[in-house]
Structure 1
Amino acid sequence: MKQQLPDVQASSPDVTVGLNRVGVTGVEKLVKLDRQDQRPIVLMAEFEVFVDLPSWRKGADMSRNMEVIDETLEAAVSQTAYRVEDVCGDAAERLLEKHDYTTEAEVRMEATYVTHDHTPESDRVTQSTADIIASATASDEGTHEEIGARVVGMTVCPCSQGMSAARARETLEDLSVERDVIDEFLERVPQPGHSQRGHATVTIRSEGSPEVDFRDIIDVARDSMSARIYNLAKRPDEDHMTYESHADAKFVEDCVRAMAEGVVEQFPHLPDDAVVTMKQSNDESIHQHNAHAERVAEVGTLRAELDGERAD
């Protein structure tokens, strides 16, 4: 007779403290998103899967849970899906059903998405990449889903640009150039400022799964910075990006505010209680440190702030 192995994980722990998240990370699965009248989007996604653990239970049955998680994810990704957040939501709900000791299940997913672009001046076909971020949390109170994206762009520092403009003005005055000519020149020719590669992240979390296309989120994030960047760039494209970025110099704080405005304008159908997370991090070119800003707010709050700004 085969000896039954003890279920150590189901025993009581030495320290009776509950845990918010216990699970696995780095689970890779192929995800297919169907689209009407178009080829499906295929993503190589990496998942993180967690459940909460009560204080009276020692462990979460990692080996057995991995089998459950694998079956759950396989079932979720094999079904017809149009949104990555629904894949996460389905998996989280399945996990909640299969764990009688847990009150909350969470599934997170990240994947690289390739977009097809044209360079701004030479009109060459090129590709860009963005990181898709999706998650879902399931509990007895319902399921909250989150969808977002993280992109790379370019920013220019308004402070250093202002100093360059002051230097240019002083030089032109020393050359006896008329003031109105100087004003027009500085208006038409943006002065240099130190530039940096920027990383913009926008996620939207809500209940009830309002329709949000992650490709629209990618556009909001890319447009929040001083200029978009491209993998391929001929000299006219380089000139275009340099000019456009310096013509729209932005602090890291300005980028987050631009994201807020972009979300409100792009997604008017979002409920007021949808939560938006916006982050901007810049790889500084003349400092050893980096700059960072972020905002987490309900859409209703952002709408009220922007309406107040427009009223002023």
Structure 2
Amino acid sequence: MIEYPDVQSSLPEHQIPIQVVGVKGVYYPILVKRPGKTINLVARIDLSVDIPANRKGADISRNLEAVNDILGRGEIDGIETVAKLLSEKLLEKIPYSNMSTVSIESDYFTPKRSESGKESMVKYRIHGKAETVRGKSTAESIGVEVNGMNACPCAMEGTRAILMDKFKMETEFLSSVPSVTHNQRNKVKLTIKTSPSYPVEIDDLIMIIENVFGSPLLPLLKRSDEANIVYNAHINPKFVEDLVREVVFQTVRKYSGFPDDTEIEVSSESDESIHPHNAYASIFTTFGSVRKSISKSIYA
């Protein structure tokens, strides 16, 4: 019988600890059971652990063993739960590691109706993450990426000034209606730290973002739907800065019972139509910090 040497456990040439060793791009079907529905996902999973300075390599195969152990159980209640279970299983299987991280992403489809009543399937990108430190509780997060349309408020006021100069008799009317501006397709990403005590529904996060945009982006649109989406964007034009602030505000208001140390991250990126570059904004904060900021602005 051949004895295969354990090369990973040997001493490396340079004894320096490594914080992240693992695998990326493990694809696996996940069956998620939520109240009233079951969702089939094809998820991309990234898994990693740390290794000490005196170890040449990690036992990479144990990452895949953990995936089979956890996802072979059948239905699970969310991808953040999958990430948590995998992260904890990694430390169980790899005793020389003290920290593990698991990230999961998947396309998520849900039906949406336009104002004209036409239904189509809309694709979103959902993600879950878990980080476990040995001897401590696991930190979980859940999030979503949503595409929408925003109209530039700067160009709108610029064209309004031009029109009011050209049509001086119509200044009252022109000041009361949206003006011409350029549009962008915008991607908003929202992530919240969560736990079993403070659950979050992906559909609620999607609704928050789409309400801030004014309308969802839909594959199937009739003429009236197209007009309404454009009109809704123009009656409430937004910079990327406006979008991230409004999404943070609405999320904290939605989950008013969440503790102050709940972390939230929101980013917004616009594919600019009149620039060769994109506009971008991001907020990383806590619910408590947002509540303090809102209170100061009310009484300022």
Shorter chain as denominator, the TM-score bin is over 0.9
Aligned pairs (5 A) from 1:199-218: 199-206=187-194, 209-218=197-206
1:225 and 2:213 aligned: yes
Tell me the CA shift for residue 208 of structure 1.
5.6
Matched with 1:182 is 171
Tell me the CA shift for residue 225 of structure 1.
3.0
d(CA) in 2 for partners of 1:219, 1:306: 22
- State TM-score, norm by structure 2: 0.95
d(CA) in 1 for partners of 2:74, 2:132: 19
CA contact (8 A) 2:63 2:90 kept: no
1:132 and 2:126 aligned: yes
Which segment is superposed worse, 78-87 or 51-60?
Answer: 78-87
Aligned pairs (5 A) from 1:84-95: 84-95=79-90
1:306 and 2:294 aligned: yes
d(CA) in 2 for partners of 1:161, 1:227: 19
Secondary structure at the aligned position of 2:138 is classed as strand
Give the counterpart letter for 2:12 in structure 1.
Answer: P
Give the counterpart letter for 1:241 in structure 2.
Answer: I
Task: Evaluate the alpha carbon distance shift between residue 191 and residue 231 of structure 1 in structure 2; reply closer, same or farther with a 3 A threshold.
Answer: same
Matched with 1:288 is 276
1:262 and 2:250 aligned: yes
d(CA) in 1 for partners of 2:56, 2:210: 45
Tell me the CA shift for residue 79 of structure 1.
4.4
Secondary structure at the aligned position of 2:39 is classed as strand
Q: Deviations over 1:64-91 (max 9, x none)?
A: 324423333434xx24422221111111
Q: How many residues align?
A: 299
Task: Evaluate the alpha carbon distance shift between residue 289 and residue 226 of structure 1 in structure 2; reply closer, same or farther with a 3 A threshold.
Answer: farther
Tell me the CA shift for residue 227 of structure 1.
4.0
Tell me the CA shift for residue 52 of structure 1.
1.0
Aligned pairs (5 A) from 1:229-244: 229-244=217-232
Q: Which runs of 5+ in 1 are unaligned?
A: none
Task: Evaluate the alpha carbon distance shift between residue 81 and residue 73 of structure 1 in structure 2; reply closer, same or farther with a 3 A threshold.
Answer: closer
Q: Deviations over 1:202-230 (max 9, x none)?
A: 00014565111111111222233354321
Secondary structure at the aligned position of 1:272 is classed as coil
d(CA) in 2 for partners of 1:103, 1:172: 70
Matched with 1:72 is 69
CA contact (8 A) 2:47 2:63 kept: no
d(CA) in 2 for partners of 1:95, 1:66: 7
Aligned pairs (5 A) from 1:135-214: 135-139=129-133, 140-173=135-168, 177=169, 182-187=171-176, 189-206=177-194, 209-214=197-202
Q: Which runs of 5+ in 2 are unaligned?
A: none
The partner residue of 2:47 within 46, 49, 55 is 49
d(CA) in 2 for partners of 1:67, 1:208: 25
Secondary structure at the aligned position of 1:245 is classed as helix
CA contact (8 A) 1:156 1:226 kept: no
d(CA) in 2 for partners of 1:167, 1:154: 24
Q: CA RMSD in A?
A: 1.6
CA contact (8 A) 2:80 2:142 kept: yes
d(CA) in 1 for partners of 2:214, 2:186: 9
Give the counterpart letter for 1:184 in structure 2.
Answer: F
Matched with 2:8 is 9
Secondary structure at the aligned position of 2:213 is classed as coil
Q: Deviations over 1:125-176 (max 9, x none)?
A: 1221111110111122111100000110011111111111101111111xxx
Q: Deviations over 1:15-49 (max 9, x none)?
A: 1111111111111111112134x331111111111
